[in-house]
Amino acid sequence: MKKIILLFLFALLAFSCQSQKDPRIKVVPESEFKAVIAREDVQLIDVRTPQEYADGFIKGAKNINVNDADFETEIQNLDKSKPVYIYCRSGARSQTAAKKMVEFGFTQIVDLQGGYMNWK
pLDDT at 15: 44
The one-digit pLDDT tens for each residue of the chain (120 residues) are: 655 554 445 554 444 444 358 999 999 999 999 999 999 989 999 999 999 999 999 999 999 999 999 999 999 999 999 999 999 999 999 999 999 999 999 999 999 999 999 998
The Cα–Cα gap between 27 and 111 comes to 5
pLDDT at 62: 98
pLDDT at 3: 56
pTM over the 0.75 mark: yes
Enumerate the active-site residues.
88
Q: Characterize the bridge pairing of strands 84-87 and 25-28.
A: unpaired
The Cα–Cα gap between 10 and 6 comes to 6
Please state the separation of Cα 110 from the chain's center in Å: 6
Question: Looking at domain 24-118, which of 3.30.360.10, 3.30.70.1350, 3.30.565.10, 3.40.250.10 is its CATH number?
Answer: 3.40.250.10
